[in-house]
């Protein structure tokens, strides 16, 4: 049975090292069982044990096959990896569920065009915190870290954006994210 209203897509974005994965894991646990809120996994051509987010690992060939057959709602390539949101996101939204996804700043315009109920939610951290987190996770070379830090420095969320400033503890940032995810949609939406 179709829902009367389409669900809201929470599109969580921010620079590498801002703590999106940690905050999403915190919020997912904290909001477990909420009647109308679900968290989607991304499909990524990165091994499942690579650290970071809880994602569905695919080989390059598996990803391309699924992409060709329309299994994804949205795909993008970034940092030599392929990323996608599965078609289940569209199904959940159509059922009236609110869906939280780990998005990408580079695909925000395409995502907003595809998902009319998209609400961008930015996770930011100070340059010193970003640098420390990127170095601690050990996934990038020093040159790659510097590129990511330069990219992050040149970015400012649009005026009026929903923002979690994640410079403190996991609980502080996580509770800030939880509070935003529990906000009602704007009137008329």
pLDDT tens figures, 12-58: 999 888 999 899 999 999 998 877 899 999 888 877 676 666 788 88
Q: Indicate the CATH number of 9-181 among 3.40.190.10, 3.40.50.620, 3.40.50.300, 3.40.50.11260.
A: 3.40.50.300
User: DSSP character for 105?
Assistant: G
Q: What is the pTM of this model?
A: 0.85
pLDDT tens figures, 112-154: 999 999 999 999 999 899 899 888 888 788 898 898 888 888 8
Q: Is 19 labelled a binding residue?
A: yes
pLDDT at 115: 94
Q: Is 138 labelled a binding residue?
A: no
Q: Is 187 labelled a binding residue?
A: no
3-class SS at 125? coil
Q: Is 22 labelled a binding residue?
A: no
Q: Is 98 labelled a binding residue?
A: no
pLDDT tens figures, 63-88: 999 999 999 999 998 878 899 999 99
Q: Which of 95, 124, 97 is nearest to 12 (CA)?
A: 124
CA-only gyration radius of the chain, Å: 16
Q: Is 103 labelled a binding residue?
A: no
Q: Is 49 labelled a binding residue?
A: no
Q: DSSP letters of 140-165? A: S-HHHHHHHHHHHHT--PPTT-EEEE
Q: Is 16 labelled a binding residue?
A: yes
């Amino acid at each position: 049975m179709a829902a009367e209203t389409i669900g809201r897509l929470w599109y969580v974005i921010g620079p590498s090292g801002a703590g999106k994965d940690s905050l999403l894991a915190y919020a997912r646990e904290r909001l477990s069982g909420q009647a109308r809120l679900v968290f989607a996994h991304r499909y990524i051509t990165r091994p499942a044990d690579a650290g970071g987010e809880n994602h569905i690992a695919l080989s390059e060939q598996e990803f391309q096959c699924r992409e060709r057959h329309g299994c994804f709602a949205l795909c993008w390539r970034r940092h030599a990896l392929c990323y996608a949101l599965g078609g289940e996101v569209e199904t959940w939204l159509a059922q009236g569920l609110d869906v939280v996804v780990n998005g990408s700043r580079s695909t925000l315009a395409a995502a907003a065009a595809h998902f009319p109920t998209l609400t961008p939610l930015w996770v930011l951290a100070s340059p010193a915190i970003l640098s420390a987190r990127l170095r601690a996770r050990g996934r990038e070379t020093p040159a790659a870290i510097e590129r990511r830090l330069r990219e992050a420095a040149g970015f400012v969320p649009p005026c009026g954006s929903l923002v979690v400033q994640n410079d403190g503890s996991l609980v502080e940032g996580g509770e800030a994210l939880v509070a935003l995810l529990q906000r009602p949609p704007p009137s008329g939406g």
